[in-house]
Amino acid sequence: MRRLITVPCEGETLVATLDEAAGATGVLIVSGGNEIRSGAHRGMAMLARRLAAGGTPVFRYDRRGIGDSSGENRGFLSAQADLVAAAAAFRAAAPQVTRLVGFGNCDAASALALFGGAAGVDRLLLANPWVIAPTDDLPPAAAIRARYAARLRDPAAWLSLLRGGIDLRKLVRGLVRLWRGSGEVEGDLASRVCGAIDGWADRVVILLATGDATAQVFAARYRGAARIVRLATGSHSFAGSANAAALEAALRAVIDRTDDADAASSPHSSS
């Protein structure tokens, strides 16, 4: 059963959706960017329905200033209170839930890495974590580098260049960005997010869409030991049935690992 829940948050009201199920491990889905809780192409709503059908309760919410929620949208770095309030509301609405798995894509992944601990989240699946904002209409250097590497291996790209089918001005601008190096992925945000991810140790899994610019920038910056799962797609939001199935499988693996860890720590488990 799916039901709407309102959540108080610092004088404002968050609107959330709970897909009910009997499981003790719940999934808290955090939306990225200015995306509403249903997700791109209703992807998160459909994911929640499938997980709940398999016994896992799922809670989604709009942060302040987004979708149905009141207040001012101040971005993901100001959304700790929203995350904490949503997690508490989830536990209150589904009292059988004793463990939380947090899932977020893009800047929602970064928010979970930074603030999930304060919300009492136990494990994380972070997709395409956001570590830098672009400064112009070009992709970040790491994404340009990956694209150039692929095109240099493609004979059709060389033929297009000879025929004038490639914008030389944009090509030069891209080369200039590469020449300047990877400084754009260095900075306070990248350091904060990557450091926060490492703080989760073995309780975090990173899911990267290999053809996505955001994922490429993260991969170029991150040097930690978190487990990384790579999916061969250019879809940032994991659109399409195959990508949706791969995302669901990755999330179910984290859920199962959470259940196994809880069983191993139970005083009734065998030694």
49, two tokens: 């329905």
> Does any domain span residue 238?
yes
Query: Could you read off the pLDDT of 26-40 as tens digits, one per residue?
Result: 999 999 989 999 999
Same domain, 113 and 149: no
Same domain, 58 and 168: no
Residue 62 pLDDT greater than 50, yes or no: yes
What secondary structure, in 3-state letters, does 39-64 show? CHHHHHHHHHHHHHHCCCCEEEECCC
Same domain, 145 and 125: no
pLDDT attached to residue 183: 44
- Going by the DSSP 8-state scheme, the letter that residue 66 receives in this structure is S
pLDDT attached to residue 159: 59
The CATH code of the domain that includes 126 is 3.40.50.1820
Q: Of the residues 185, 205, 220, which one is the last residue of a structural domain?
A: 185
185, two tokens: 């992925």
- Quick one: pLDDT band at residue 271, thresholds 50, 70, 90? very low
Which CA distances in Å does 166 have to 90, 162, 171, 172?
51, 9, 8, 11
> Does any domain span residue 168?
yes
Residue 180 pLDDT greater than 80, yes or no: no
Maximum Cα–Cα distance across the chain: 72
Strand partners for 126: 104, 206
What is the percent of the chain where pLDDT is above 70?
A: 77
| pTM score, whole prediction | 0.80
Same domain, 54 and 166: no
Rounded to an integer, what distance in angstroms lies between the CA atom of residue 65 and that of residue 9? 12
Residue holding tokens 């799962």? 229
Chain-wide mean pLDDT for the chain?
Answer: 86
- CB-neighbour burial class of residue 116 (10 A; exposed 0-12, middle 13-18, buried 19+): buried
Same domain, 215 and 100: yes
Same domain, 80 and 214: yes
Other Cβ atoms less than 10 A from the Cβ of 264: the count is 10
Residue holding tokens 């940032």? 236
> Does any domain span residue 78?
yes
> Does any domain span residue 118?
yes
Same domain, 60 and 167: no
What is the percent of the chain where pLDDT is above 90?
A: 73
CA-based nearest residue to 212, from 237, 192, 229, 182: 237
Rounded to an integer, what distance in angstroms lies between the CA atom of residue 216 and that of residue 181? 15
Same domain, 170 and 256: no
pLDDT attached to residue 31: 96
Query: Could you read off the pLDDT of 226-246 as tens digits, one per residue?
Result: 999 999 999 999 999 999 999
How large is the average pLDDT for residues 50-75? 97
Same domain, 6 and 21: yes
Same domain, 101 and 145: no
Residue-range definition of the domain harbouring residue 208: 2-132+187-265
> Does any domain span residue 270?
no
How large is the average pLDDT for residues 116-126? 98
Residue 133 pLDDT greater than 90, yes or no: no
Same domain, 81 and 150: no
Number of domains in the chain: 2
Q: Of the residues 124, 157, 185, which one is the last residue of a structural domain?
A: 185
pLDDT attached to residue 261: 77
1, two tokens: 């059963």
> Does any domain span residue 96?
yes
pLDDT attached to residue 173: 56
Rounded to an integer, what distance in angstroms lies between the CA atom of residue 220 and that of residue 236? 17
Q: Of the residues 143, 167, 185, which one is the last residue of a structural domain?
A: 185
Same domain, 110 and 162: no
Residue 215 pLDDT greater than 90, yes or no: yes
Residue 139 pLDDT greater than 60, yes or no: no
Residue holding tokens 């060389």? 158
Other Cβ atoms less than 10 A from the Cβ of 10: the count is 10
> Does any domain span residue 271?
no
> Does any domain span residue 53?
yes
Residue 147 pLDDT greater than 70, yes or no: no
